[in-house]
Amino acid sequence: MSFSVIRSCPACGTKNRVSARHLADTGRCGSCKTPLPPSAEPIEVGDAGTFEEILRDTKVPILVDFWAAWCGPCHAAAPEVHALAQEVAGQALVVKVNTENLPALASRYGVQSIPNFVVLQDGKVTFQQAGLVPRQQMRGWLQRSARVG
């Protein structure tokens, strides 16, 4: 089964499935045809298959936030990561990976300390940095990866 996000229509409340391929696109409600804006929330990845599908199907840059529940700096970064997702909606995606739940995925990207941020474009790493940073710096990484406002 393929990954999708359930998004409620702002006009009629109908729940709409949005596939990984269209998370950065403006769509339309299947019921009332009202525009559904692009994903503006960090996407919590629960398994490696979902991560792979997002990576394969998304055509915009992806900022991956590798984090863990016990990590204080990760909790401090969370509001910045969330705000960034809102700012870059339609131009990039923000994905969160809990390293406690997906250690093999963290290992694949050489994550040894968290928070750890990885920018991916077309499935390739374009930038990676560990440590707490301001949202403006994260946005700069995405801008260097592709044309993100």
Per-residue pLDDT of the chain (149 residues; tens, 9 = 90+): 578 888 899 999 999 999 989 999 999 999 999 999 999 999 999 999 999 999 999 999 999 999 999 999 999 999 999 999 999 999 999 999 999 999 999 999 999 999 999 999 999 999 999 999 999 999 999 998 875 54
For residue 145, what pLDDT is reported? 84
Query: What is the three-class DSSP state of 81?
Result: helix
State whether 105 and 60 are in the same domain.
yes
State whether 32 and 47 are in the same domain.
no
State whether 13 and 49 are in the same domain.
no
For residue 1, what pLDDT is reported? 55
For residue 4, what pLDDT is reported? 83
What is the residue range of 12's domain? 4-36
State whether 22 and 78 are in the same domain.
no
State whether 15 and 69 are in the same domain.
no
| CATH number of the domain enclosing 79 | 3.40.30.10
For residue 79, what pLDDT is reported? 97
For residue 2, what pLDDT is reported? 76
Which ranges of 3-149 does DSSP label H, i.e. alpha helix?
Answer: 48-57, 72-87, 103-108, 135-145
State whether 9 and 49 are in the same domain.
no
Question: Is 9 labeled as catalytic in the residue annotation?
Answer: no
Bridge-based pairing state of the strands 93-98 and 116-121: unpaired
Instruction: Give pTM, 2 decimals.
Output: 0.92
State whether 132 and 66 are in the same domain.
yes
State whether 64 and 47 are in the same domain.
yes
Catalytic residue among 12, 29, 32, 71: 71
